[in-house]
Every structure is written in structure tokens, then in C-alpha cells.
Amino acid sequence: MPESTIFITGTDTEVGKTWVSAALLQLLGRHGAALGCKPVSAGQTHPQPGEAPFAPFNEDVRWLQACSVPAVGDAPLLDAQVGPIQLDEPCAPHIAAARQGLSWDQDAAPLRSTVLGAVEALAARSRWLVVEGVGGWAVPLAQGWDSAALARDVCPPGSTGGVVLVVGLRLGCLNHALLTAQAVAASGLRLLGWVAKSGPQPMAHEAENLATLDALLPAPRLGHIPWLGDADVGHALRYDAAALRALAMRAASHLDQARLLRALGS
Ligand SMILES: Nc1ncnc2c1ncn2[C@@H]1O[C@H](COP(=O)(O)OP(=O)(O)OP(=O)(O)O)[C@@H](O)[C@H]1O
Ligand SMILES: [Mg+2]
């Protein structure tokens, strides 16, 4: 079983959860097997006309597969192991599921057992398991099961792991970050830390916003990942796993490794 399972949540969708997950995998992979999982994803990338053929894939799953670091002698992870449930449409998962004829709105049990089975299989092979959530903390998944309940299932209260919150630095992030931290605490889970993530446009008064988050969030800041304007993410995702790892390492260079290991109790 892993020493720690780290659940990555965010202030919203598209805030940088996958970047932070990939960076953590590359950083923690220096200290032992670090495996990534995106239990439920929505949105498949298809080839454009004129592009060399590749099979449709989910971008988050591809990132986490490329950046996972299996134990010495262990096999690389398969796409289906990293992403056991990959829905077609890029929309809220329960809506994407309904549009595919899946009856998650009636019964969460089959989904939950598939997801937790996949997570447990990876847990058995890892020292660090990084599980990327879906959208933000309260995203519904199925009847009676949402992203917060998924987090409780993978790192239950009292376990050594916990939650890392990715704060997308944009107007509104203070409210989203503080509400999410409150909801994590109300779920009985530990907030290990938070990571600031810049988007393509610098946030107005970024330093003041960061200082406010430092003062009000009940966990340490583990880093601030800038926008890497020269990154050709689309090409790397399609053709170049090594380039994805290099981007993750660049992101990881903005994380405080010592603080992270302290938060994990290692
Ligand atoms: N530093 C960066 N430099 C260039 N592109 C970036 C950078 N960070 C993120 N991106 C792009 O911004 C988007 C958001 O990042 P990311 O995919 O990590 O968000 P997310 O929170 O995981 O989203 P989702 O909710 O869809 O899982 C992606 O399209 C990604 O390729
Ligand atoms: Mg993501």
C-alpha cells in the first residue's frame, strides 16, 4: 500500500490540476514509485484532418501515464490503468455518462467499484499515489457519489495522505480557494498544502492575492507554477512522452520539495 495517497483538487476546472499532478509524480518519483490516476475523465482528443494517425485519448490520462514513475522492475502503466473511466464528451461527467447511456444517476455502485478497484491496484504498486479529481471539489459523479466522496474513498480520514488544492490565479480564486478548504475540512480530510498556478495572463495584484491566500488558507503553500509560454503541450501529448516529463520537471522546479515531504510526513 502507498505511504501516502494525494488527492489533487482545484478551485475550478482548467486551473492546473494535471500540471501539478504530473509535477508531483516527477518530484516524488525520485523517492520511490509514484503512480498517477485520473479515475474519471471526460473528453477525448481526436486527430485533426492531416494529422498523423493516433488513437483518441484523454489528455489528463496521457500526462499522468507519461509522468508516473513505476518501481524498478515494474511495468509501465497502461492507459486503462491510469484512466479506468474515460468518457467521450468534455462536459460534467454525469452528463457525459448519461449521454452515453450509462445509468450513473440510478446507481453509483458499478462506477464506484470499477474506480476503487483501479485505484487499489495502483496503490499496491506505489509508494506515492497521486489521484487527480474531476473539476472542483463538489463535482457530482453519480447518484450519491461526488468528487468529495471519491476523495474520502481514496484517502480516508486518518490515513497518511490528504488533499492538495490547486489555486488557479484569477479573479474569484480567493472565494473558491477558501470555500474549498472549508469543504475539505468538513469532509474530515487533511489539506496537505496548496499550489498556486498562473494562467496565460498575469493576475492583477498577484502578490497581494498570494499573500491573502498565505494568510487565510490553513495549509502551507507548496509552490507557484508560472505559465510556460513556450510549451508545445499539444505536440507533446500526441507524440512525445519524454517532452511531457520534461514539462512536468520544469513545473516541479517551482515546487518546494522539502515542504512537500514535510507535509507528507516523510
Ligand atoms: N504553464 C503552462 N504553460 C502552458 N500551458 C499550460 C500551462 N499550464 C496549463 N496549461 C494549459 O492550461 C490548461 C489547464 O491546465 P490543466 O489541464 O492542468 O488543468 P486541470 O485543472 O487539470 O483541468 P481539468 O479540470 O480539465 O482536469 C491545459 O490546456 C494546459 O495544457
Ligand atoms: Mg486535469
Mean pLDDT by 10 residues, the chain (266 residues): 92 98 98 97 93 91 98 97 98 97 93 97 97 97 97 93 97 98 97 97 96 98 96 93 97 97 91
Number of domains in the chain: 1
Is the C-beta atom of 19 inside 6 A of ligand 1? yes
Q: Is the CB of 227 under 6 A from ligand 1?
A: yes
The whole-angstrom separation of Cα 191 and Cα 193 is 6
Ligand 1 centroid to Cα of residue 100, in Å, is 26
pLDDT at residue 163, rounded to an integer? 98
Residue in 126, 192, 132 with CA at minimum distance from that of residue 159: 192
What nine digits make up the cell of 162? 490528504
Find the catalytic residue in 5, 25, 26, 38: 38
Q: How far apart are CA 21 and CA 17, in angstroms?
A: 6
CA distance 147 to 163: 12
Question: Measured from the CB, is residue 60 less than 6 Å from ligand 1?
Answer: yes
Instruction: Specify the pLDDT at position 191.
Output: 98
pLDDT at position 226 is 96
Relative to the CA of 59, which ligand 1 atom is closest? Answer: 17
Domain that holds residue 231: 4-263
Q: What's the gap in Å between 133 CA and the centre of ligand 2?
A: 8
Residue 91's contacts (CB-CB under 8 Å, 6 or more residues apart) are 42, 43, 99
Q: Is 38 a catalytic residue?
A: yes
92 lines ligand 1 (CB under 6 A): no
CATH of residue 194's domain is 3.40.50.300
